[in-house]
Amino acid sequence: MTSFTSPLSLETSFFAFSPGEWNRLVPSDSVFQEWEFLSTLESTGCVGKNDWVIRILRFQENGELLGVLPFYKRFDSYGEYIFDFQWANAFHRAGIPYYPKFTAAVPFTPVTGARILISPSLSEEKKKEVILSLLSALKELGKEEGVSSLHVLFCKEDELKLGENAGYVPRLSHQYHWFNRGFETFEDYLSTLVKERRKTIRQERKKVNSLGLTIETLTGNSIEEKHHSIFYRFYEDTHSRKWGQAYLNRAFFQKIFEVMKHRIHLVLASDASGRPVGGSFNFWRDDYLFGRYWGALEQIPNLHFECCYYQLIDYAIKNKMKRVEAGAQGEHKFLRGYEAVPMHSLHYIYHESGSKAIYDYLEREIKMEEQNIQEYNSHSPIKSLREGT
């Protein structure tokens, strides 16, 4: 393994850092890069063993942590959400190993955020120096370990530009996010939508309201010990029906409710007897609300929309939050006033002929995705987007 010279070094555990020194580097819109989230994935065995093998590049000068680049050695591509399965298949058909690879991402979490964490006290020039040093060190390490490729997923735009300077190639995809345009009420938000969508949303909320359910939002001290078991059941039920294998375990839910209760936002629906029937498990920090996991113990029409979209929008409006993100996939979100927005990633392929084919594909894909985003928003239920104003 490469022996980096100061100021660079390599760690293999989040517990090599203190929570305070790590979290000082995390920007407010990157909650899933907080030490508590990442270390809980490690301590509960969700990552760090046979797959998602933890690696962290550290940049430290004069005893001060100035930057970190957490990444993982991967032996498949599940749980990443920027899909490269076709690339892996093409390598396999050519007799070239695609795995292992290095991936810088938050495991199982398709949310944009800082992938390289930098001290906020640094000048812009020093920040660039640290980021470029970390990206170059990642390339050096990948070459030495013989991985096929490097992938920096759901990165921020400033990282994208510096990554290109370091020789990485950009990729474009999209998600759907809801933006608060200064709304005072949910009706203010509805007024920005075309008539048929306003009508549909009102009807969906009315139908849920008629079922006699109690729907409550829980944050901070209103979250009780029992809730981790309730929401693990919801999560487990969803994964057993849709995907077959859950990435997270019960221990993760128990621990994350202990160490990140101040970041958790729950929407819980209960029937007339007080029995929990469904809900959404979300995270928040400052002006940003992130929808993550949904589940229900019985099929209740429109409950998903209420718990995953409308309740979050309501909460964001009341608390003057800027944005609601709800992860991958999007048709239901788009129809309810979420906007198509670009998602960026960076890639570096070591194999010369393989890299040429993939880079040519990415160049074409970017043009197609730019057109797709424009086309989606031109048909948005949001009147101003549809009209191009």
The pLDDT assigned to 388 comes to: 75
Domains of the chain: 8-174+341-378 (3.40.630.30), 181-321 (3.40.630.30)
Q: pLDDT tens-digit profile of 218-231?
A: 999 999 999 999 99
* CA gap 289, 292 in Å, rounded: 10
The pLDDT assigned to 4 comes to: 79
More confident residue, 255 or 48: 255
* CA gap 86, 309 in Å, rounded: 32
Residue entry with tokens 């640094």: 122
Whole-prediction pTM:
0.95
- One-letter identity of residue 337: G
Q: Residue 56: pLDDT band by 50, 70, 90 thresholds?
A: very high
* CA gap 165, 136 in Å, rounded: 10
Name the helix (H) or strand (E) containing 214.
strand 214-219
